[in-house]
Amino acid sequence: MLRHVAGRLAGALPLLLGVCVFTFILVRVLPGDPAVYYATGPMASAEEIASVRKSLGLDRPIYAQLGSYLAGVATGDFGRSLTTGQPVSADLGQRLPASLELTAFAMGLALSLAVPLGVLAAITRGSWLDHSVRLLGTLGVSLPTFVTGVGLIFVFYFKLGWAPDPIDRIDPFVLRPPAVTGFLIVDTLLAGDMEAFASALGRLLLPGIAMASFVMAPIMRITRASMLSVLSSDFIRTARAGGFGWWTVYVRYGLGNALLPVLTTVGLVASYLIGANVVIEKVFAWPGVGAYALQALLAADYAAVQGYILLMALIFILINTTIDVLYAIVDPRIRAE
């Protein structure tokens, strides 16, 4: 298994190289000139723009810029952000835990609801519960995340006043715990600060629910479809006829054999959540890498955009490798191979 994982990660190196080259070229063909942006403004003289372009290294041939960028990436240097003045690797390292915490919370919430509902819908096929689950799934994929997020803010913050201000990860008047994991929920528990925990959890709920509502639908639908296929199998009918209990028939044998398509869907939606939480982070002023990348894109901050896309590609590869390992754990046939 370790050799398999190492082989997958080694095979991903050419993919990461391709992402670096493609992203480098892509950001330079997008509208906007960083030299004009970081000069004195649109009214800057040609001499001022040329001076800024030279200081940024944009006056060199494109192949020379690409070579310098790839040499820096090989040593872990993604360049310096023009908007923050900090190394891109430092900016991403500071903001990545916020995005991962939001994604992990949304994914955990979606799984805890979608898988049981999908199983129950398959068991009670054709019932009111089955139709309700299918309707819920249709509504989930029909509403964009920003619509759900704005709606949650409007109802629970403006109208009911139950939710805290949709700004940042914790109340500014609450002392932040020492950074251990980067996940505020975990760090506040480790510090034993329940006030900070309540503040962090309260600000995590609405964006987490908005993201979970969108990814619940595909997980519910694939769980239902996979369970329906398994429940029609001979071994399930034999288990029922043998008088096995509900847990053994539907969970141990049914869900256990229906998990492979579910795991595939989970890997896809998890990868989607990591990269597509830009909108939610902007709606809720969440200080994650998505909001950082959007700000960098608007400012034509090449280094920051390139670093963000490379980071997303690396996370996507790690998620898919993890799914492969879970395949082997769930399915003995794959483990034997």
Tell me the pLDDT tens digit for each residue of 256-303: 788 888 888 888 888 778 777 788 888 888 888 888 888 888 777 788
**pLDDT tens-digit series, residues 53-106:** 777 677 777 788 788 888 888 887 888 887 787 888 888 888 889 888 998 899
- Unique residue bearing structure tokens 């913050």: 157
State pTM to two decimals: 0.82
| CA pair distance 305, 30, nearest whole angstrom | 12
Q: Where are the domains of the chain?
A: 91-288+312-336
Rounded to an integer, the average pLDDT of 128-150 is 82
- Unique residue bearing structure tokens 């034509």: 300
Checking if the pLDDT of 172 tops 80, the result is: yes
Checking if the pLDDT of 229 tops 80, the result is: yes
* Beta carbons within 10 angstroms of residue 144's beta carbon: 12
pLDDT for residue 336: 62
pLDDT for residue 38: 65
| CA pair distance 9, 317, nearest whole angstrom | 8
Rounded to an integer, the average pLDDT of 13-37 is 76
The phi and psi torsions of 15 (rounded to 5 degrees) equal -65, -45
| CA pair distance 145, 264, nearest whole angstrom | 22
Q: Find, among 217, 213, 219, the residue nearest to 263 by Cα.
A: 219
**pLDDT tens-digit series, residues 203-217:** 899 999 988 888 888
- Unique residue bearing structure tokens 């004195």: 40
| pLDDT band with cut points at 50, 70 and 90 for residue 33 | low
Q: Looking at the DSSP assignment, which residues form a beta bridge with residue 87? A: 80
pLDDT for residue 328: 72
Class of the CATH domain delimited by 91-288+312-336: mainly alpha
CB 147 within 8 A of CB 223: no
| CA pair distance 211, 206, nearest whole angstrom | 9
